[in-house]
């Protein structure tokens, strides 16, 4: 059975994977900083949504069926929307805010919607 793949070269995938891993590590650091500021509920939402989104985004590369591809994209999109929402809420509430994380979340969201 042939794998369904996104229309990108292997070098592009490696660049994207690096972005994914960097984003994930940055979110973990952000989560820890929010925990230190007693903002555990928001920290948990951001981290769990990020991990779910990232897992589905990575699964997209290995899908064997179109239905799997669509399902993983849908879950990734939903979770990236959540990440973006909660990062924006941090800014609006005057909590810890990291504009670069928000920009990265938008960039990864865009990859899922292509």
Mean pLDDT, contiguous 10-residue spans, the chain (114 residues): 49 86 96 96 96 92 87 96 96 91 96 88
Architecture of domain 10-113: Up-down Bundle (1.20)
pTM above 0.75, yes or no: yes
pLDDT at 14: 85
Closest CA to 47 of 16, 74, 82: 82
Collapsing DSSP states into helix, strand and coil, what is residue 18?
helix
Q: CA geometry: angle at 21 spanning 54 and 64, to 5°?
A: 45
Q: Where are the domains of the chain?
A: 10-113
Spatial CB neighbours of 57, under 8 Å, sequence gap ≥ 6: 20, 72, 76, 108, 111, 112
Q: CA geometry: angle at 9 spanning 7 and 14, to 5°?
A: 115
């Amino acid at each position: 059975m042939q794998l369904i793949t996104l229309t990108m070269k292997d070098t592009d995938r490696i660049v994207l994977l690096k972005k994914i891993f960097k984003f994930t590590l940055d979110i973990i650091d952000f989560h820890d900083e929010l925990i230190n500021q007693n903002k555990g509920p928001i920290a948990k939402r951001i981290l769990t949504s990020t991990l779910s989104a990232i897992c589905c985004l990575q699964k997209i590369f290995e899908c064997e069926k179109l239905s799997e591809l669509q399902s993983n994209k849908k879950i990734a999109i939903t979770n990236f929307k959540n990440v973006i929402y909660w990062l924006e809420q941090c800014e609006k509430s005057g909590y810890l805010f990291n504009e670069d994380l928000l920009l990265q979340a938008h960039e990864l969201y865009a990859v899922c919607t292509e």
